[in-house]
Structure 1
């Protein structure tokens, strides 16, 4: 199970995917509305008048008409431009949502890798101490060691077994989180980054999805402001009406067809709130874009520094773990030859085990730092 496969599985079940789909559908609906022939849905008018409740002379009037709201000059193009900007923002938002989810998958995968490595190290230490305890028991029965050594070895073994239980519990919790996030039982296969990949990760990338979202939010606000400026009044209405009028009983009905045009006025009370809202949206979007770009630059610098520091720490912990393992092997051989006491052996074994656990955790820390830099660069798994 690669990170790419795990990420795609997580995306299929993510709430962010549903939100992105809804935003895309809304953007497409706005584009369709902007491409309509009419500024608003047409309407039908029906009017009827008679004198039945008054003189009852048979007078009646019936009028049926259709009303079409018309686009103002330039309004349709401005509305279409705003809808296109909304569509592009929806696409950028989808990429940003995918990247945020990728960060969750990466973090969960490396946390799981660290927990697995630590659990394996603790289990190895418990097996080693089990062997030491068995060996001490045999030597106590043979009279080579005191019973106090057997008790000390047994105590160390019980402590290691307790630590193993804690590590297994943390591993189960990490696996449960992984299943919740991805819906997968298979564990991810992650490897510590190579020096070549570390160098590649430091290279600049294309614009980050979050930056594209911020820039597109500004563009959408500009297009909305243009649309408001070109919509200073409600759309005019063209109407076609058919009218039938009867003066009274026994008189011939009169019929006619008329065409009307209704042009609303654009007043300050109508336009000022709309323009203020559009200008305010643009100001907020521009300020947010500046903040996002500044934060991104800081995050990128911090991620690169963290990666370099994690690589240096990995070299140090690797060397330390190797030295302490070699020391533990030498003391183990000396203990079996009867030249070293049991407390010295146990101290050396514990120090080597702790160094191995630290090395395993640092490997995962380096992988997580590399993944976080990829995240900051806007790269998907």
Structure 2
């Protein structure tokens, strides 16, 4: 799972987002919300042909000013965005781990399924040889021989189908982790639940933490919009030089101040946009909490039911394997029809598949509980 996380492109992407938001928060601590503004003018009456000697040079430099509370709101909004990026990293890590677990579970189940099918195919191959000998000796009907051959063919086709599915799963594993080796999830047992001291608390789930971070980010953006109720005013210095024949007032220096008054037509849409974003974030947080809470209960129930299933399916598998072996012996001595034996063998195979499925399910549920508690093998 660590290998998949290292290779995941979202890892670097979300880390970059967090660093960028942190840099934005640092930039919000500056004295001014923007860079200085430089302006200049040149006026001359010679261009209109009057030639009275009126010439004016004018230059100014000004800086924008923070509105009251705007700088702090900008910094808090950037820090909230950074928290969202950090939360996304943890969520993505959980999703990658769960995806690897799902693929490993599917691959392990397919391996066990192929093993059961191959064992059954080997048994049926022996039965085919016996049936062929019996057909030549006239001891069994051709319909019984065809039934045995058909059953063997069906099992072999299921093996090919399962092998193709296993290869596809291996390809997905290799794309995620860089290796097509199937993680051995069956090597872990229930002791990890005790050694890791798992505390399944939905409120600590990365998905709910991210949902909460998104709500805080939306509120911070709303607060910033409330403190940005008009364009930033500017304050600066202006120098004017006027050239006129015989005039003693050739140079002037003064202050410059510019402010655009608040406008509901401009401000209301900006604030309402953040209000809608805040409402959407709170809605998503509520839905995420419901979904995660349900998932935690389902995981606990899956683990409990899989352990019960494993106990009963193992008992059923042993009984059905023994029944199939008894019917095979009875068929060989002519005490039972071959169709009855084939049914018993198929029932034993299906029971073995259910036992394998229960074994994989309880291991997968146990590992999923470990992942939800923040433990990544």
TM-score range, shorter chain: 0.7 to 0.9
Runs of 4+ in structure 1 over 6 Å off: 199-202, 250-253
Deviation sequence 1:78-127 (CA, Å, 0-9, x none):
21112111111111122112222222222122112112211221122112
Is 1:7 the counterpart of 2:4 in the alignment?
yes
- Give the CA RMSD over aligned residues: 3.1
- Unaligned 5+ residue runs, structure 1? none
TM-score norm. by structure 2 comes to 0.85
Report the CA distance shift for 1:213/1:13 in structure 2 as closer, same or farther (over 3 A): closer
Once residues 186 and 289 of structure 1 are traced to their aligned partners in structure 2, the CA distance between those partners, rounded to angstroms, is: 37
Structure 1 residues 67-82: aligned runs within 5 Å = 67-82=62-77
Secondary structure of the 2:321 match is helix
1:113 to 102, 108, 118: 108
Deviation at 1:294, TM superposition (A): 2.7
**Is structure 2 residue 18 aligned with structure 1 residue 24?**
yes
* Unpaired runs of at least 5, structure 2: none
Q: Cα distance 1:211–1:289, how it changes in 2: closer, same or farther (>3 A)? A: same
- Residue 266 of structure 2, aligned match among 264, 270, 278: 270
Classify the secondary structure of the residue corresponding to 2:79.
helix
Per-residue deviation, 1:26: 4.0
The alignment partner of 2:186 has SS state of coil
* 1:298-345: CA deviation from partner (whole Å, max 9, x where unpaired): 222222222222221222111111211233334445556676554444
Q: How many residues align?
A: 373
Q: Aligned residue for 2:236?
A: 239
The alignment status of 1:223 with 2:217, answered yes or no, reads no
Question: Could you say if the C-alpha distance between residues 80 and 228 of structure 1 is closer, same or farther in structure 2, counting changes exceeding 3 Å?
Answer: same
The 1:230/1:156 distance shift into structure 2, 3 A limit, reads closer
1:159-308 pair list within 5 angstroms = 159-191=154-186, 194-197=189-192, 203-205=199-201, 207-248=204-245, 254-308=250-304
Q: In structure 1, what is the Cα distance between the partners aligned to 2:32 and 2:125?
A: 83
Find the partner of 2:85 among 67, 85, 90: 90
CA 1:198–1:125: 2 relative to 1, 3 Å? farther
Aligned to 2:325: 329
Q: Which moved more, 1:143-152 or 1:351-360?
A: 143-152
Structure 1 residues 299 and 158, CA gap change in structure 2 (3 angstroms): closer
Separation (CA, whole Å) in 1 of partners of 2:127 and 2:35: 86
